[in-house]
Structure 1
Amino acid sequence: MEFETEDAAYNFYNDYAYRVGFSVRISKGHKDKYGKIVNRVFCCSCEGYRGKDKREDNVKNPRPQSRFGCLAKMKVNSRLTGKYRVTEFIAEHAHETTTPSKSHLLRSQRKMTIPQVAEVHLADDSGITPKASCELLARRAGGRENLGFIPEDYRNYLRSKRTMQMKSGDTGGVLEYLQKMQLEDSNFFYAIQVDEDDLITNIFWADVKMMIDYSYFGDVVCFDTTYRKNKEGRPFAMFVGVNHHKLTIIFGAALLYDETTESFIWLFNTFAKAMSEKKPKTILTDQDAAMAKALALVWPETCHRLCIWHLYQNALKKLSIVFGKFQDFSKDFNKCIYEYEEEKVM
């Protein structure tokens, strides 16, 4: 069997992988003196074994194993005829393959088409949420299995798009401001996270007053990400507390590009670093799953509690019929939150 191009060979093997139920990875290849690929190996994504992680003893929630030494592969070579001829093919897998109904979830089977990308841009510019837009695209395609990508791919694409759209003047302005603040006060703290393309993703800063306030009143912290930067809709996060006059004080602030577990892990680690590794005893947040996961990983000793305002908002959404039907339910609900007794364990 021969193919005109390397891409044609890959597409053939990937279509075969879809029917069998595994994901394809482009493996090793060789080039001639002109830089053209003369042979290539396409293998199962479970080929080989993962290298030993140096942090293995310290990682509490390690990633699941994804490589099992699978030998399934297809090798093509173009040295003889100029066309990519199959010179080796191994069909047997060292692991169970997925069912055809789940093949669309495999990494090599997921790709956003040009028309879909255009719709993503239109929805983003119109202010439509990724969840609503993704559901609409899935309905048009006849179901998520026919969509060609998953919601995570949608969010990742939006993140890349928004990062690329950030003008160099904006980036330079942010850096210039932070550097100016640090020149005026050597104790001013700021940290910037960049991605693999050296583009800014997350920013955190705290001045001396914030650090001093945290040293006195940082036992209980409220972490709020409900604010949004205009147009882009990026989260503006604040670490907030209360002083001895019952006034709201700010311990630190951050501009985030998404609300993923990875971003929160970076932010919580950076906040602790700015505050001389002092972690709060209690932190109040909303019911964000990614945030809760990050807190459990980074600050396991900190007591995590939900914000009362969010509890009431969720109660109104989920129990609106109950509130309307039973007049005393609101009072009973307040008692459940405020009027409680602590039992001492003997």
Structure 2
Amino acid sequence: MEENSGDDQLFIPQVADDRKPKIGMKFASLDDAFSYYNQYAREAGFSARMSNSKKQKMTNEVVWKKFVCFKEGHTDELRWMKHVKDAQPKQERARGEVRTGCKSKISIVKEQTGPNWVVSTFMEIHNHPLSTPSKVHLLRSHRNVSVSKKALIQQFSEANVPICQQMRLLEIEYGGPEHVGCTEKDIRNCEKILRDEQKGIDAETLIEFFAAEKDKCSAFFFDYETDSDNRFSRCFWADPVSRMTNSVFGDVVVFDTTYNTNKYGMIFAPFVGVNNHHQTIVFGCGFLSDEKTESFVWLFNKFIEAMPKGAPNVIITDQDPAMTKAIAQVFPQVVHRYCLWHILNKFSDKLNPVTFRDYYQSIKNVIQNSTTPNEFDKSWEDVIKCANLEKNDWLLLMYELRQKWVPAYCNHVFCAGISSSQRSESSHAFFKKYVSNKNSLMDFITRFNRALRHQRHNELVADHIDLNECPKIKSKRPMETQMVKVYTKKKNG
């Protein structure tokens, strides 16, 4: 270290001479030259960056380039230049001063008669302290998210591993934060860049993906539509496994929509059912830009087109008016049931607190335990009269709609043990473990498919248990023992 005639101190990097750039040194390319200078900068304890260049007027080819210390220039000057360029000042991020007017640099010039680049200037003295080896990995030019790390980060992201945990895993893999080669902030920026790359092309990428799936397997079904401005507005897809599953278990379908699965606010609309293990299964899925009747009509028609079984025998939904209207139009012969769970939950809002406290259990008992329509009608009239609720508008409306939600009116129809859209809501909850409102459409599909694989693996586990275990006898009565023998014989035969 040396001192000049002024107040500033000068700092000379402690690097072996054979590792320093020298005037006359040759490189095959600009990248090779910067790589060499950046490696020197790492050993010296500073960060390097590319600076000015000159081009040949006739060919517009770069013939001179300068690499400098990251503290070259002055912050105030840079801000002024940025404001002039942008015409209007912008709010600056609060951060410490970095630039000190450091003169350390290297210049390289293109040979006139050869392909090489030659070092023409080298200044190694700095006007600021240099980083120690324990801190040099934090300098900008020595941090890099490599191709392999980007692939790993993408996999972590698909598995919903938070960035802070991604960093911990990388630290374990590489033996400490100083050996990872990047910081947590770099990983966040990398993920943001990956998301930004999808802007404007996400819908096209999704359509291309579905088309590729169709090319790989003709049994894959998908269709989509755009609006009057040629913007992606809705789609439906079903893979071969879902379509085959529908042919076996498609008698009863539960349909509901949910939000917050992607960053565009597209509405996720899955069609689900249950299998022989009473596990939730997916028949097909849609994306909608709105919940208008015409959107549901389009989606339901695509469902019928895709499914081998066609329309189901029963469809269970909430009380959405647009959905109800679309079902009446597309599924006129299908039994449409409203979700009993949703209706029961509304009683606390539709009744005053005292009436709810005193009579809800009695009303609920009438709804759930009436065995015939006549029994329900009589019991309902009695309990409503007892509670002085004869003029409650909501209860009057629900009574008019009783054939759509009261079990006594639906017991004659096979519903696979489902009485509410909770089956669909539990499916939403399951998939939301994998997706979020930050996902692009392609991010969603990647994560959704992984969730679907997990769901189907659970079905394989249940099949495996059925194959290798006999049902446990609870009562030890002869009839139960006989039924276990019949089940085992049928299973093995």
TM range (shorter): 0.3 to 0.5
Q: Greater helix percent: which structure?
A: 2
Tell me the TM-score normalised to structure 1 length: 0.48
Q: Greater strand percent: which structure?
A: 1
* Higher RCO (Cα < 8 Å, 6 or more apart): 2
Tell me the TM-score normalised to structure 2 length: 0.34
Larger Rg: 2
